Amino acid sequence: MGIPKLSGTQFIKVALSICLCILLLPFHIVKAQSPGTRVWQASVERMDGKQVFFQMIQMQKNNQETWYIKNAGEKIPVTEWREKGDSVFFSLPAFEVSFRARKEGNEKLNGQFLKQTTGNTQHWPFLANAKDSQRYVSNMGKAGENISGKWDVTITRANGTTRKALAIFTQEGNNLTGTFLTPSADYRYLDGIVTGDSLKISSFDGDNIRLFEAKITNENSISGGFFYNGYNGKESWVAVRTDSIPPPDAIDPTRMREGQTKLNFRFPDLQGKWVSINDEKYRHKVVIIQLMGSWCANCLDETRFLIDFYKENHDKGVEIIALTYEYSTDALRSKTSIEKFRKFLGVPYPILLTGVTAGDDQKAEKTLPQLTAIRSFPTTLILDREGRVRKIETSFYGPGSGEYYIKYKNEFNATLDELIRE
């Protein structure tokens, strides 16, 4: 059968019909992806049944199947992938977390996310679906407002007290990314959507599991919001647009006790060797003391920064020591988690086990009695060549905070440059 000849008018009508059909296809079908790459919609479910959504990327890399968890500009590699029958088991490169799920065909995973804590292991229902590639669906159509910019946020705790934060949003059409800056740290890479007058933005990195929802009242006001934090935390929040408000200040931040200028500590490293700030290695050196935990995603961001700084400045007489405060006083459990963290990042400086938990209210008294209370992780102390504590950083803003990360790095470098020259 031959192909019928069309008149000019008929050809135009057929072409327009084809174009209209293409435009009506669902976005995720026509959206270009790299060959062999699939994006899965995934979620974990809190105790209250609220789902926190994220995305998983399945791709071929060096002729091997590779998986990542995606939050905005961050891709977290999935590790220790293992299959047994219709079951799959995998983990993340840091933190005491793991997944176990059943494969339902080639397009669905159904199982649990397991998270170790200071208490019992948390079991979160976990789902992943290859048929849905989007994190959130534009079920209310186009965004009613563009909320790109900075927002002065008031978060109300369950007990009625409030705390402040600074939100930074970037919106392109329906797509929304951003973070919140608190007195101690940023909420890293949040990824979500604005559809109609509704916003949803979330993150999942193994440590932090967060979801913000709210209504956009107008271009300058966000109201009726809820912040779902972790396994069961829930707070309300509102925000107003701002141009110049800085991140909120910490209340009673860590400082040296009156009359104290130097630290005095001695703890074992991962090989059991005792390390002291008074060792010859640290005499007449500029020393950075990092208070951190292997469970802490912000500490991971800071460690990446400090590794680069160490490599560039070690030959100038700079040393770094990390002191860890873990979830447990079990030395083997702590060492295993820290070693996983160290190996993933390739930490070149000593990591010492304090043997005191992050949640211990007396952790400063038990480990660094020259300090007032340690309130946040990471906290970073900078010592001059005479061993005197010259600065204590209690606010770390990582790469997810954009301009504030650049500002942090510039101020940090300026402080250290001055001490190196002394």
**339-354, pLDDT tens digit by residue?**
999 999 999 999 999 9
Q: What pLDDT, on a 0 to 100 scale, did the predictor assign at position 63? A: 83
3-state helix/strand/coil string of 147-163: CCEEEEEEEECCCCCEE
The structural domains of the chain, ordered by start, are 35-129 (2.40.160.90), 149-242 (2.40.128.120), 266-421 (3.40.30.10)
- Asked if residue 28 has pLDDT above 80, the reply is no
Please say whether the beta carbons of 125 and 143 come within 8 A.
no
Instruction: Using pLDDT thresholds of 50, 70 and 90, give the confidence band for residue 64.
Output: confident
Please say whether the beta carbons of 162 and 156 come within 8 A.
yes
Please say whether the beta carbons of 405 and 267 come within 8 A.
no
Higher local confidence (pLDDT), 244 or 417: 417
Q: What pLDDT, on a 0 to 100 scale, did the predictor assign at position 244? A: 83
State the Cα–Cα distance between residues 152 and 244, nearest whole angstrom. 10
Instruction: Using pLDDT thresholds of 50, 70 and 90, give the confidence band for residue 144.
Output: very high
- Asked if residue 375 has pLDDT above 70, the reply is yes
Q: Please state whether the peptide bond connecting residue 350 to the residue before it is cis, i.e. omega within 30 degrees of 0.
A: no
Mean pLDDT, residues 293-311: 98
Q: What pLDDT, on a 0 to 100 scale, did the predictor assign at position 30? A: 32
Q: What percent of the chain has pLDDT over 70?
A: 92
Mean pLDDT, residues 208-216: 98
Instruction: Using pLDDT thresholds of 50, 70 and 90, give the confidence band for residue 36.
Output: confident
Q: What pLDDT, on a 0 to 100 scale, did the predictor assign at position 35? A: 59
b/e per residue 154-169 (b: at least 16 CB within 10 A): ebeeeeeeeeebbbbb
Q: What is the pLDDT of residues 113-143, one digit of tens each?
A: 999 999 999 999 999 999 999 999 999 999 9
All residues at 6 or more sequence positions from 398 whose CB lies less than 8 Å from its CB, including other chains: 185, 186, 188, 298, 301, 302, 305, 405
b/e per residue 369-406 (b: at least 16 CB within 10 A): ebbbebebbbbbbbbbeebebbebbbbbbbbbbbebbe
CA-to-CA separations, 282 to 24, 286, 351, in angstroms, rounded: 67, 8, 15
Mean pLDDT, residues 87-102: 98
Mean pLDDT for the chain?
92
3-class SS at 235? strand
Please say whether the beta carbons of 376 and 397 come within 8 A.
no
What are the structure tokens assigned to 209, written together?
């599991």
- Asked if residue 8 has pLDDT above 90, the reply is no
State the Cα–Cα distance between residues 267 and 412, nearest whole angstrom. 26
Which of 250-254, 355-359, 412-416 is the least confident region?
250-254
Residue from 241, 112, 105 nearest 169 by CA: 241
Please say whether the beta carbons of 313 and 349 come within 8 A.
no
Query: On the CB side of 152, how many CA atoms lie within 13 Å of its CA?
Result: 8
Q: What is the pLDDT of residues 269-301, one digit of tens each?
A: 999 999 999 999 999 999 999 999 999 999 999
Q: Output DSSP code: residue 142.
A: S
DSSP string covering 177-213: EEEEE-SSBB---EEEEEEBTEEEEEEE-SS-EEEEE
CA-to-CA separations, 361 to 326, 358, 372, in angstroms, rounded: 13, 8, 11
State the Cα–Cα distance between residues 300 and 185, nearest whole angstrom. 12
Instruction: Using pLDDT thresholds of 50, 70 and 90, give the confidence band for residue 34.
Output: low
- Asked if residue 7 has pLDDT above 80, the reply is no
